[in-house]
Structures are given as structure tokens and as C-alpha cells.
Structure 1
Amino acid sequence: MNYPVLCYSCPSPAEYKVAAEWSDGLTRELKTYALSCPACLGANFAKAKLKQSQCRLLHGETLEVPGIYTICRGNRDHQLLRKPELEV
């Protein structure tokens, strides 16, 4: 069953995932900060950077800076395409 993926800030369809790579030394995944439409992307990315900077980590954990990834239905996190040109 397909369901709409909506922006965290408005009711528009989300096209981007704002996330940062997190690891505990054994597993690695993307920590999602927001799903975003193009119009809300700048604000959602700024909020993600602030949240990441305030995050406390346990010994052995790592958390990279947030990035912007294109959402592609059915793809796993490691398959998402990062869009560094949007990370300004």
C-alpha cells in the first residue's frame, strides 16, 4: 500500500530527506531530521544542523553533519542519492 510522504513543515509532498549518518560502531544508519518539500528545505536543513550540534552521543557513537538526500520510494537509506549542492 502506497501512502503519501509529506513534508514535516507543511502538507506538500516531500521530495527530500534531511538526515545524518549515525553509527554505534557496529551498525550504521541515517538519522532522519526531516522529510521536506523544496519550499521548506532551507528551514528544515537549518533546524537539522542546530539539532545535530546539540546532540549528545554515547561512547563509541558517531553522528555526521546533516545532508540532503532525494527521496525515492522503495529505496533503502544507503541507496538514496545525496545532493550536496543543496546543502548551503
Structure 2
Amino acid sequence: MKITELYQKVVGVVITVTGINENDILHSNREECADARYLLVRVLSDKLSDKETGVLIGRTRQGVSFIRSNDAKMRKWSVMSAWREIDDHIKRISF
């Protein structure tokens, strides 16, 4: 599977679960968009390097690493709930 195909599948799941469009996930500074961006990066980090993820979402490798390492996000009920749902969706997708 190509990296772009992987990205499209993952971002589709994040959009479905969070209800936030791709442009807002990638560019908005609203809290719910930052949470969705964190979830997107977290899923992608299981399959891609920080550099590859950065190219896909328009961030630097360091920026992706910063987003990925923000463990405090997982303490939020809304993020943890969305993560469980995203994880269930991802498990059903064949990569």
C-alpha cells in the first residue's frame, strides 16, 4: 500500500469519528481540531516515520514529534473516547 493511500484511509477514519474536516484537522488551532490532529498523528506514527507523517500533514519532523509526544491529550475523556473508536476502525482495515 502506498503512503498516500494509507494516509487517506486513516484521515477518513479520523474525520468520521471526530466529525471535523481534513482542512480543519490540519490547519485550525481550535482545541477540538488539535485533538483530532493528535489522533491522526498517533495512528500514522504506528505505520510511518515522523518525517513521512510531516510531509503528509504539512509539518516538520520536529513538529510531528512534538504532537506525537503530547501524552497529556490522552487524559482528556473526549480524546480517549475518540481514540478507542478510531482504534476499532483501524483494526478492521487491512493495511
Please, what TM-score do these two structures have when normalized by structure 1?
Answer: 0.27
Normalized per residue, which structure has more helix?
2
Larger Rg: 1
Please, what TM-score do these two structures have when normalized by structure 2?
Answer: 0.25
Normalized per residue, which structure has more strand?
1
